[in-house]
Amino acid sequence: MVLVRETWANSTIVWKIARDGTRIWLRLGNAFQRPLFLCIIYAAPQGLPYADNSLFEHICQEVGKAMSLGNVFLTGDARTSTNTDFIYYSQLADVLLVPQAIKDTLPNDMLERQNYDTVTVGWHREFLDFCRTTGLFILNGCTPGDISGEYTCLSNKGFSTVDYFFTTVDQLEGVKRLEVNCDEKYSGHKNAHSDHRPLVLTITQ
């Protein structure tokens, strides 16, 4: 479930829905200088008969289209620990002997993410490769409100960080806060509504 501000509701439409139910795209239009596209992804666990091995190829194509029309945010589930989700441009430039004048125009290296969860399973390699390919960055663990990389799932099997927000580097300035709601009525209690904690992302444009 995705909740948006009431003032954005009238300009929010469904842009795309995957037939297999793995993702849905929302378009938030009038509230922003450029349309904002939000993709909600569900990657079925690897090994299941209905798991789509070409999922990230499809998402890459859709992200490219969305980026040509507006700004892009994604949210989905993976288990990536603190593995790198971006290219270290400064290191790459040194290896390729890029002239200093060009190096000065490259994006600064991102703040390394923190994460309480040190385990990587499932689609984590595909998720991280997807981020590096598309230029999307994981916001958990390096954004005000969640600098430490809070657990997002509390289940009988243990605690994990599996719910993430992603965006492009040019949108980072507008990301004000990411909070993992730790209220027990949502997760971590026998009467909770879910074993996943809600994520609240605050952005401005």
Beta strands in the chain (DSSP E): 12-17, 23-28, 36-41, 71-77, 136-138, 153-155, 158-160, 163-168, 175-180, 199-203
Q: Is the overall model pTM greater than 0.85, yes or no?
A: no
Q: Which residue has the higher pLDDT, 61 or 204?
A: 61
Q: Which domain holds residue 39?
A: 6-203
Flag whether 146 is in a domain: yes
Q: Are 42 and 77 in contact (CB under 8 A)?
A: yes
Provide mean pLDDT across the span 47-51: 76
Question: What is the C-alpha separation between 84 and 74, in angstroms, rounded?
Answer: 17
Q: Is 69 within the bounds of a domain?
A: yes
Q: What is the CATH number of the domain that holds 124?
A: 3.60.10.10
Residue 40 pLDDT exceeds 80: yes
Confidence class of residue 33 from pLDDT cuts 50, 70 and 90?
confident
Mean pLDDT of the chain: 79
3-state per-residue secondary structure call for 43-57: CCCCCCCCCCCCHHH
Name the residue with higher pLDDT: 9 or 200: 200
